[in-house]
Chain A
Amino acid sequence: MRRQLSIAMQAALLGALYVFLYGPIVYIAYVSFQANSVWPFPPETTFDHYASLWQERDFHAGLANSLLIAGGTGALSSLFATMAAMAVLKYRVAGRGLVAALFLAPLFIAHVLIGISSLMFNKAILGLPGNILSAILANSTYATAFAFLVVIAQLARYDWRLDDAAMVFGATPGRAFREVTLPLIWPAILGAFIVSFLLSFNNLEISFYNLGAVPTLPTLAWGSLRHGISEELYALAALINLAVFVLLALLYGLLRSGLLKLDYKD
């Protein structure tokens, strides 16, 4: 009886955490459709905020820049992370602990530090101006760490003997990867891509220091918050949040299917 009570309490805490985490997200989506954003009760539905967001010229530029940063970061991070994760899991050689530590290190470094240090390093040492490319490179540091985690978690149960078997039958390492490994592990790679894509798409601090006045969606949101919220921001937030959850649902499906495929090891 007491045990049941304790489990029920834990479940209630989980429920409360969901309310805490999702309440603000759901509320802002609700407000984005309301004419009165301060006290939107009773509801008075309008699509005006979405219409004016669409007419905002900066919004289009910001969206394009954010997509560029996210696409570049996602590609770079998932590539580096997949290669390193495969190496660490497959080859039990000296130095793999150190390599894993290097790839996870960015998780323990504050974003503002990555932002300011890449800003100054690029400018003072490399002589590079801040632009989309430098934003991609700076975002790819911590995004690689997250991508690495995703791939490691997914591939920990992959049986690398499959590749060896292919090579025993005469496949080159490249062919073994393309025809045996890749078809089995692509959900992990796509998962890493989605996570690093989303992180850099929504990153403010690192992109901000590398881009200055070039708008991205997070810097537009930041500007709007600073100068007193304009109501388009609710529409923008609701749209981005929706896109994130759609992509994550996709990722969830992939993780499920990915696990099922890797499962036949046992």
Chain B
Amino acid sequence: MLSNRQRFWFLVLPGAGFLVVFLVLPLVSIVVFSFWRTESYTMIREWNIANYTVLFTDWTYIKFLLRSLGMASIVSLVALIYAWPVALFIARHGGRFKLIFLLLTSAPFLTGEILRVTALQQILGPIGVINMALGNFGFEPIEALMYTSTATAIGLTYLWIPFMVLAIYLSLLNFDFELLEVAKVNGARPLRAFWEITWPLNRAGSAIGVVLVFIPTLASTITSQFLGGPDGALYGNILAHQFGATGTWAFGSAMGVVLFAISLIVLYIVWKSVGDLRRSGVTIKGAGEL
């Protein structure tokens, strides 16, 4: 007879081994490659830190990184503020439609980034339906929607807000709304009850949501490429460029490592700010209520 311990590892090892070989090792390998150099599309093993020197001293790259960081911060914040009342409504007043309400917010995510951006282009942009309608009715078009960073921000919010709603909702599933009644009986106004009870007890949901929106937004390539216009390029676009036209893989690796390092730092900061995850709401059991 196998022990529980053996059974556990028997079930876990295939997937864990797979993830180590096809996810962890490739990520480790780009750290190695980032210290090599590239010559006419081939990577050459000559250890150097030139890639990082360029990355941290050339203002071009710093500028794109800062732009992406700003974009990711704004999009995460907007998504957080918008997702909260929505998730609250579904969790508290969704009744027997909870699951369908939630799935309807997540469903568009599964249609894929490229098709979602295609659809958005028909709405925003110079010949998008909004500006065409304004033009046809004799109004000035909205410049901000035509290939600008605002359009990119709208697009990224469109893409990733489902994650925010989902994360906050999962946290709220474990939240005892009776606490709010108690607060009310004791004279707290709804807003104060929210800030002193609902928000702090569900900060893990907010934190996970922020990370899940921040990371893909920081690495965004497609959205900025098609909605941001010629001046709207973000860090991800420059990164992707190293693997396209220029073929400078080693430098691209260094850019990837920086992106990954920032993701980890954000994850760490957010994690630390939450404190004990279990005490603040998210558990596997909560997910079971789905």
Q: Does B199 contact A (CB under 8 A)?
A: no
Binary flags per residue of B83-97, CB closer than 8 Å to A gives 1, else 0: 001101110010000
Q: Does A27 contact B (CB under 8 A)?
A: yes
Binary flags per residue of B1-26, CB closer than 8 Å to A gives 1, else 0: 01011011111101110111011011
Say how far B42's CB is from chain A's closest CB, in angstroms.
9
B99 to A241, Cβ gap below 8 A?
no
Q: Does A195 contact B (CB under 8 A)?
A: yes
Given the interface pairs A120-B253, A248-B103, the reply to whether A83 lies near B11 with Cβ below 8 Å is: yes
Q: Does A213 contact B (CB under 8 A)?
A: no
A140 to B219, Cβ gap below 8 A?
no
Which residues of chain A have C-beta atoms less than 8 A from B85's C-beta?
Answer: 9-10, 13
Q: Which B residue's beta carbon lies closest to that of A95?
A: B8
Q: Which A residue's beta carbon lies closest to that of B27?
A: A117
Say how far B234's CB is from chain A's closest CB, in angstroms.
11
Query: Which of B49-57, B142-150, B280-288 is the interface stretch?
Result: B280-288
A residues lining the B interface (CB < 8 Å):
2-3, 6-7, 9-11, 13-14, 17-18, 20-25, 27-28, 31, 38-39, 76, 79-81, 83-84, 86-91, 93, 95-96, 99, 102-103, 105-114, 116-122, 124-125, 137-138, 140-141, 144, 149, 152-157, 173, 195, 198-199, 201-205, 209, 218, 221-222, 225, 229, 233-234, 237, 240-241, 244-245, 248, 252, 255-256
B residues lining the A interface (CB < 8 Å):
2, 4-5, 7-12, 14-16, 18-20, 22-23, 25-27, 29-30, 33, 43, 82, 85-86, 88-90, 93, 99-101, 103-105, 107-108, 110-123, 127, 129, 132, 136, 158, 161-162, 165, 190, 211-212, 215-216, 218-219, 221-222, 226, 236, 239-240, 243, 249, 252-253, 256, 259-260, 263, 267, 284-285, 287-288, 290
